[in-house]
Amino acid sequence: MKNLLYIGNALSQKGKTVTVIDTLGTCLEKEGYHVKITSRYKNKFMRLLDMLFSVLKNRKSIDYVLIDTYSTQNFYYAYLSGKLCHLLKIKYIPILHGGNLPHRLKKSPKKSYFLFGNALVNIAPSNYTKTSFEIEGYNNLLCIPNSIEIENYNFHEKDFSEVKLLWVRSFSELYNPKLAIDVLYKLQQKKIKSSLCMIGPDNDGSLIKAKAYAKSLNIDVEFTGKLSKEKWITRAREFNIFINTTNFDNMPVSIIEAMALGLPVISTNVGGLPYLITDNETGILVPPNNANTIVEAVLRIKNAPVITKKMAVRARKKVEAYDWNIVKNKWAAILK
């Protein structure tokens, strides 16, 4: 079986959210691949050194290098890792995660052309990313969606006698957590019996700001901090609407998971979300940074439970196509 080096931010054991490097790496190991993961260093400079050193150290034994690629500062980890792989004639495969990655193509055209142009293939988790790259002239792309193990997600029908909102992401300005608090505030101003639980670790100080903001509005919001995947999936049974408030996104696994669990999803209509959610069929899409439209969508869900339950069933059916037992065949075709 092939030897893989997987480069990315493997920081779930450092208090950060579980990401694709954790889930995909584990799934590939279950299929018999030998997977080495780097890096788990929290310090950014040490993390970069560890990534580059791992390529050098394993250059004679690895068949492929997988590189998680994002649009912000972490883009440079991918660029330098890819450049080293190219120098050492190692086949490398960027996995295009960043919801704002198409903007990076324009902001850093030369570095982007080197990284993505010399890759064996670029893996796009959504057709949004694939199409965006193709528009910029790239053709070495393959769409492989983020996956879940569907057997771990039991579908539960929901009762909508009161509104119980769930929000699951790391606390970052990019994901606009304050918008979720605004939604709860407006619902309660309308005398709608409602609650909000926000699950996830702090990424850039946004958790502290969110707590202070909720306090300033004099509303109760449950902040759990980081929970294991098993714990938040168990907690999800207590809620009946999942809201996604992000300003940029690609194909978030948390939304796939919510759809699998039977939670109707209301999400901002940004990035790859309209490729994942069909408006009014498998979820509801709303403009970004607009609490009023989310409140309207919440009330539509609450006041039309029969329609909502049919929407939830269609959503579950859609994400069954993202089960690892299906997605793994696409990976096997590349890593043969």
pTM for this model (two decimals): 0.91
Domains 3-144 and 150-321 share a fold: yes
- Give residue 14's pLDDT band: very low, low, confident or very high (50, 70, 90): low
What pLDDT was estimated at residue 206? 96
As a whole number of angstroms, the longest Cα–Cα distance in the chain is 65
Give the tokens for residue 312. 């939830």
For residue 168, the Cα-to-chain-centroid distance in whole angstroms is: 10
% of the chain beyond a pLDDT of 90: 85
> Using CA atoms, how far apart are residues 257 and 254, in angstroms rounded to an integer?
5
What pLDDT was estimated at residue 122? 97
> Quick one: which of 156, 157, 177, 159 has its CA closest to 168?
177
What pLDDT was estimated at residue 110? 95
φ, ψ of residue 164 to 5 degrees: the values are: -125, 100
> Using CA atoms, how far apart are residues 89 and 78, in angstroms rounded to an integer?
16
What pLDDT was estimated at residue 91? 97
CATH class of 3-144: alpha beta
> Using CA atoms, how far apart are residues 275 and 102, in angstroms rounded to an integer?
15
HSE toward the beta carbon, residue 201, CA cutoff 13 A: 14
What pLDDT was estimated at residue 147? 93
- Residue-wise pLDDT tens digits, 151-192: 999 999 999 999 999 999 999 999 999 999 999 999 999 999
- Residue-wise pLDDT tens digits, 84-132: 999 999 999 999 987 788 889 999 999 999 999 999 999 999 889 999 9
**Is CATH 3.40.50.2000 the right assignment for the domain spanning 150-321?**
yes
- Residue-wise pLDDT tens digits, 228-241: 889 999 999 999 99
What pLDDT was estimated at residue 202? 94
What pLDDT was estimated at residue 15? 63
Mean pLDDT of 317-322: 96
Residue 13 has pLDDT above 80, yes or no: no
φ, ψ of residue 216 to 5 degrees: the values are: -65, -30
φ, ψ of residue 244 to 5 degrees: the values are: -120, 115
- Residue-wise pLDDT tens digits, 254-307: 999 999 999 999 999 998 899 999 999 999 999 999 999 999 999 999 999 999
Residue 17 has pLDDT above 80, yes or no: no
Mean pLDDT of 4-10: 93
Given the DSSP bridges, would you call strands 34-38 and 3-7 parallel, antiparallel or unpaired?
Answer: parallel
Domain residue limits, the chain:
3-144, 150-321
Number of CB atoms found within 10 A of residue 234's CB: 11
